[in-house]
Amino acid sequence: MKRYLTIAILSAWLQLQAFYAHAVLNVQSNATFARFASSYFTTHRTGDYIDAAKYMFWWTNNIHCYEDSRGGAGIQEANENRLERKGLAQWANGSQAWGEIWADDNGGYNFLQQWQNTSNTFRAPLWLYNGTAYTNEGGWAGSHSVNWIGIGAIPYTNNWVVGCSEQIRDSGMTNVATIMASLAVEFFQPLCVWSNDTMSGVNTLRFGTPDVTHPGPPANVDMAIVYLRSIIETNINTCIVDFGGASVSSTQHCVISSLAKNGNVLSMTWKADRHSMPWDEPDGTITNDARGGLLSTNAFHEDLVFTNLPIGIYTLAEDGSNVYSATITNGSLTVNLYSLTQGAVWAQRKEVLGRVRDKRGCDRVTLVDDGSQGEASYNGLSQTAWDAGNRGDTLVSALSAPMGVLNTKDALIWSAATPTNHTFTLTQFIPRFFPAHK
């Protein structure tokens, strides 16, 4: 009895550590991220939002992000069919390797099965499944390591309590990741905010797209937010500007120049060090609607803060276009560009997301794989090379040409993610009264 009590206490403690885990990853130049998950990530939503955010947060590092997820597949299938076949050449393509393994309901694992299968994942690349058995392939795999991140399970049924199958899989993943991986990310508890939603096709906030067994677009945003807040800072950039004094009070991860005030108009040139996650909103071209995520409000901050404001109505223009207006009575105004879905910065974030999807090989509007060269074709080419008997460094060499295509697409993403100068103008509108007005 004491033994089981000790295990239970240890499990609870480890899960608590994972729940509060937050670390800005030490990502090096030319790092590679390979993600292994299920159909929750094959719809070009959650994973694309996550990777677009990575490209913009670490834009100076020229990173590479790969989607190696497969619908209907569990962790054992990933270990035996995808880690070496798809992941090895991707990891060997950079100077630092990261692996992301996500828990899901495929396989129906209990706590122990989740632990056992994921522990095999975390032994890669030193031990990889070659189609027959786990082995040390030597070469790159025998002399390098992968920084693994274990991510828990999302709530799936309407059972939100400790002890349901999803929570057990979440606990199994975060427990083994806390011991064997670089980072464990608790997923079940943060997403229990979905508990007020129904699992029906009528309410598509949580489930309903592409069917009632998968998270809908707003839930995809919530999933991306929970994960990203575990690996990057939530304060993307901040500047504080004294409107009355026409001066910069402070900046974090951005630079202010050419600050000037002429009467009731303050203008400045602003350049950020990095930008935040994009998502889908209908705009006349994009039809996927990811608005309404329960965690999306101010999940990240790109804050323009203006202080010492007289009472009045203010309009903020970005590169000559009005993007925000407010009536100010308390002397300050904060505009979070993360939440502002118009203007040049938002357009840049959307373009990065679009180029991520170009790399995936899917249509930007329909989000359906379109057969173009990209990760969709890489999957088939890696299978062909694998079926020909290539393993280890021989497999890496056999996939050098398709990896070169993906590198070209990465370069286009890096270009889109590079921050640029923007001019912001804050104007106070002063009411004009008739002479007889009292």
Q: Which residue has the higher pLDDT, 7 or 100?
A: 100
Within-domain flag for 254: no
Q: Phi, psi at residue 213, to the nearest 5°?
A: -105, 5
Determine, yes or no, domain membership for 410.
no
List residues bridging with 315 in a β-sheet.
325, 427
348 in a structural domain? no
Average pLDDT over residues 180-200: 79
**What confidence tier does 20 reach under pLDDT thresholds 50, 70, 90?**
very low
Domain harbouring 143, CATH code: 3.40.50.1110
Confirm whether 93 is domain-assigned. Answer: yes
What is the number of alpha carbons within 13 Å of residue 55 lying toward its C-beta?
A: 31
186 by DSSP, 3-state: which?
A: coil
Measured CA to CA, the distance from residue 95 to residue 73 in angstroms comes to 29
> How is residue 60 annotated by DSSP?
G
Can you read off the two tokens belonging to residue 78? Answer: 């990933």
Instruction: Return the amino acid letter for 24.
Output: V
The mean pLDDT of the chain is: 89
pLDDT for the residue numbered 198:
47
Domain count, the chain: 1
* Position with higher pLDDT, 207 vs 251: 251
Q: How confident is the model at residue 293 (pLDDT cuts 50, 70, 90)?
A: confident
Q: Tell me what percent of the residues of the chain surpass a pLDDT of 70.
A: 87
- For the ranges 185-189, 356-360, 368-372, the lowest mean pLDDT is seen at 368-372
> Phi/psi class of residue 50: alpha, beta or left (left: φ > 0; alpha: ψ in -120 to 50)?
alpha
Give residue 211's pLDDT band: very low, low, confident or very high (50, 70, 90). Answer: low
* Beta carbons of 301 and 336 less than 8 angstroms apart: yes
The confidence score (pLDDT) of residue 108 equals 85
H/E stretch holding 54 reads helix 46-57
In whole angstroms, what separates CA 258 from the centre of its chain? Answer: 34
Q: Is 243's pLDDT higher than 70?
A: yes
Query: Residue 240 domain-assigned?
Result: no
Name the pLDDT band for 10 (thresholds 50, 70, 90). very low
Placement of tokens 């909103």 in the chain: 281
Residue length, the chain? Answer: 438
**Residue 42 pLDDT class (50, 70, 90 cuts):** confident
Query: Which residue is listed with tokens 């070169």?
Result: 404
Residue with more model confidence, 380 or 20: 380
Helix, strand, coil shares, percent, the chain, to 5: 35, 25, 40
- What is the average per-residue pLDDT within 80-89? 98
Tell the residue number behind the tokens 């080419």, with chain if given.
Answer: 381
210 preceded by cis ω (within 30°)?
yes
pLDDT of residue 196: 57
With 80 as the cut, is the pLDDT of residue 204 above it?
Answer: no
Q: Is 180:130 a contact under the CB 8 Å cutoff?
A: no
- Residue at 101 is within a domain: yes
The tokens describing 41, both together, are 């990530």
DSSP state of 435: T
323 has pLDDT over 60: yes
Averaged pLDDT for residues 90-101 = 98
In a domain, 90, yes or no: yes
Residue-number span of the structural domain to which 125 is assigned: 11-234
The H helix count followed by the E strand count for the chain is 12, 16
88 falls within a domain: yes
Q: Give me the pLDDT at residue 44, please.
A: 87
Cα distances (angstroms) measured from residue 376 to each of 33, 266, 297, 379, 432: 17, 49, 33, 6, 61
Query: Where does the pLDDT of residue 359 fall: very low under 50, low under 70, confident under 90, or very high at 90 and above?
Result: very high
**Which residue would you say has higher pLDDT here, 407 or 188?**
407
Cβ–Cβ < 8 Å for 95, 29:
yes
